[in-house]
Amino acid sequence: MKIKKVIISRSRSETIITHNILTDFDLIVPESEIELYKEVVKNADDIIAIPDNIAGLGAVRNWVLDYYSEEVISKSDAKQAIHDWEYNTGSITPLTKKMVMMYLRS
């Protein structure tokens, strides 16, 4: 089974960092910001525009799940760190590059 890696970002085209440690991913950004991200993120498989009126992490994640037919791992970009959202507890945990690589290999 193929799992698609997806980075979700909004209003962070100048500070996005997640793309620096991932490969083989799509980037999901608001349609009004797509050109800004295209200037910065050169290694995405695809940069996909989500309608601007879909806002809030929950709504965006639901849109992503509806958009893709395959299994998806989504990561939200953060200004200073990459965080993993633990669905079962609702907690947010900062991840190191090593932790992300181990997570994506599992």
**DSSP per-residue letters across 43-103:** S-SEEEEEPTT--SHHHHHHHHHHH-SSEEEEEE--SS-EEEE-TTT--EEEE-HHHHHHH
Q: Which of 11, 50, 46 is nearest to 30 (CA)?
A: 50
Residue whose token pair is 């507890």: 89
Mean predicted confidence (pLDDT) in 23-31: 92
Q: What percent of the chain has pLDDT over 90?
A: 31
Query: Residue 90's pLDDT is what?
Result: 42
pLDDT digits (tens, 9 = 90+) for 52-87: 999 888 898 889 888 988 778 776 665 444 444 444
**What is the C-alpha to C-alpha distance for residues 13 and 33, in angstroms, rounded to an integer?**
8
Query: Residue 50's pLDDT is what?
Result: 96
Query: Residue 78's pLDDT is what?
Result: 56
Query: Residue 87's pLDDT is what?
Result: 42
Using a CB cutoff of 8 Å and minimum separation of 24, what contacts does 33-39 make? 37/9, 37/13, 39/13
